[in-house]
Structure 1
């Protein structure tokens, strides 16, 4: 009597790290002094943290889905230091060219400094199509070969796929159509087609780059943007930056006509160390200024945090002087303090008591009176007069 055949063949399993949008060499105009150098270093040092995460979870490889470098003009220093960090990653690393670093004639991946220093375990996914990671596991690459593709590069790869017993991971980069429903951009990624391919078992996971905040697409649990490894924008724009995804996939094919069993586990892990915070606050007196100080004091890791302020309300010149002094203090304590001009609307309401104790006479006193009158009006001239009054108050020795 023959033994019964098993219902399912032995299971295939793989664990890997999904990350994207490293944009190594990125600068931010609001960072001054050593802050920009520290931010640049943090973006590179995150590679080491990703490597340690891969080691801790026994990941077989790291997949970087586009925009590894900020652009082709990054310095040789950035390239060499980035490759030094990649050299410490204990498993293969696959780099997909994206819109910032496309695989075109002037690609950074063809530069001598990159090719001469690239570690052997780092592979650029420079050709569209399947790449075997090991028997039974493949990455389907959809690299950008120009900065302006004229079609959905991911769809091109899906159209070429036939059923397979392999675990297949599709690596793509770009915007999905559900986030730009009215756009005529021909390169938008068709989410419905992705969902159909996943449902049909053609693809086990879709790893995307371009969106800097960790985002699941659709309901299958198999289509994800990993987000950038370090924050790039303020928290009202990027909800979940500084993360990478540990992805675990398994598949067992049936010996009958039954569908294969598949499982997926996607776990975000924070590797970023910086934060870009937006703080909106109503200020209409000294108590509100005190509360703003409390909020700023409560922010952790100040040397690696950028704060964007949007203050609304009206203050006296004395209160404005106290506010300016406080902002100067926190500018020294934070990596940077900036203003969100679109939402910032703080005006000065002139108060006769502001200058009374200074006993200003002569042309300075006359200037204070004229500015006070102008500051009570409307429009740009009134705003300029308010700013001038605040400066005059401080120069004249006014205190909060």
Structure 2
């Protein structure tokens, strides 16, 4: 096993083509490096994936969706700035640069403008969202015409020489349903070499995905390749959470550079990996995550049984930073009285306006409202209003679910209106 350069922080023929937008080995910079067999070699690069530009989120509406789109575009720019900061020689994007082959020409052009501003070469690998098939975005007139000279599409499988002593091993998707493990196919064609070699692949691995899909990547095959020195690093895309495979420190998913799902599904997204490799008298690897994402998708699962729990929920929502770029999904389980339910409605309405989005996770949400005659009595209603409230309490206990729900809604409205006069909010124990 090789020793790391530093501790991780917490938080085959050469490929070339004359077509604009394809990999051109001669276009990559070639800084002076030792080239004799066995000489020391070192390289630093950025590993990223799953930009999925053009992605929409169903729970974001109006201005929030526009803000989210802008943040995803900003992340692309931030990656270029990070490359300069860490001294990266190039950037590899391991699949799913675009969410769909039909993304707008505006997104394509703006993305390529941003990549053209990078001070280093960028290598784009077609993945399952943007495969190199007959409808490929990489073959579109818009992409080909707008592609800057420093952007190279890994459009053929095999070895790509980046510069003297450093090569990529590309495994692009040419369809949405490959019939084999594309990474293993390329590893099987490699012979030992003195170059620092970086696999650029995409797809699920058998460690996490069910068997039966022929495209699933073999984790043991990757481990063998790095353990034997056949390759020095495996850069993967498809999994949106930063993930290290095995114990070598050389097989990684970079995760997505901006969050795409809630934190019970996706962990440590919003980052890019800066990788430094060394081979020669001393072999080593260092992988450093750097945050570029700005958004947060948070899931709150909680028992709520009364005003004290509502106060805790309010404090938790209040403590969330950068609310305009935070989405919260609630799954609450418990029982509330009518006054407390009205207080919850007020809380939900308030934070629905303060957060980018707030919504109920219906599949796991089970909040029961119980109508207690004592709650109604505390309102001090008289005459027709009192009689109506008592009738609603009775209907709220109906076996007819629709009728009970309508009665609860009416009672909640009644308590919210009463709260506006100074009574309901104080009884709930949840101040605004």
- TM-score normalised according to structure 2 size: 0.84
- Offset at 1:375? 3.0
List aligned pairs for 1:352-367, cutoff 5 A. Answer: 352-356=373-377, 357=379, 359=381
Q: Tell me the residue number matched to 2:40.
A: 11
1:1-400 map, 5 Å: 9-180=38-209, 182-252=210-280, 261-356=282-377, 357=379, 359=381, 368-376=389-397, 380-381=401-402, 384-385=405-406, 387-393=408-414, 397=418, 399-400=424-425
Q: CA deviation at 1:178?
A: 1.0
TM-score under structure 1 length normalisation: 0.91
SS of equivalent residue, structure 1 residue 179:
coil
Does the 8 A contact of 1:18 with 1:247 survive in 2?
A: yes
Task: Verify the 8 A CA contact 1:304 1:335 in the aligned structure 2.
Answer: yes
1:256 aligned partner: none
List per-residue Cα deviations over 1:361-391 (Å, max 9, x = no partner): 65x7666545433433568447624643445
Shift of 1:359: 2.9
| Cα distance in 2 between the residues matched to 1:286 and 1:141 | 58
- Structure 1 residues not aligned, in runs of 5+: 1-7, 254-260
Contact 2:41–2:280 (CA<8 Å) still a contact in 1? yes
CA separation of 1:212 and 1:352: change in aligned 2, threshold 3 A: same
- My pick for the range that moved more, 275-284 or 142-151, is 275-284
Q: Deviations over 1:162-207 (max 9, x none)?
A: 0100011001000000112x42111100011111111111110000
Aligned-residue CA RMSD in angstroms? 2.0
Mapped partners of 1:159, 1:283: distance in 2: 56
Pairwise CA distance, 1:290: 1.4
Instruction: Judge conservation of contact 2:49–2:96 (CA < 8 Å) in 1.
Output: yes
Alignment check: 8 A CA contact 2:338 2:412 kept: no
Q: CA deviation at 1:82?
A: 1.4
CA drift of 1:272 comes to: 0.4
SS at structure 2 position matched to 1:133 = strand
CA contact (8 A) 1:164 1:202 kept: yes
**1:263-307 deviations in Å (ceiling 9; x for gaps):** 110111111000001112222111221111111111111111101
C-alpha contact (below 8 Å) 1:215/1:225 kept by paired residues: yes
CA distance in 1, matches of 2:400, 2:97: 46
Secondary structure of the residue aligned to 1:348 is strand
- The residue matched to 2:275 in structure 1 has which SS? strand
Asked if 2 retains the 8 angstrom alpha-carbon contact of 1:127 and 1:143, the reply is yes
Give the conservation status (yes or no) of the 8 Å contact 2:241–2:268: yes
Greater mean deviation of Cα atoms: 287-296 or 388-397: 388-397
Q: CA deviation at 1:316?
A: 1.1
337-346 or 214-223, which moves further after superposition?
A: 337-346
Gaps of 5+ in 2: 1-36, 426-432
Structure 2 counterpart SS, 1:79: helix
Superposed displacement of residue 115, structure 1? 1.2
Q: Distance in 2 between matches of 1:294 and 1:313?
A: 18
Instruction: Provide the rounded CA distance (Å) in 1 between the counterparts of 2:341 and 2:198.
Output: 56
Determine the structure 2 residue equivalent to 1:5.
Answer: none
Decide whether the 8 Å contact of 1:283 with 1:289 is kept in 2: yes
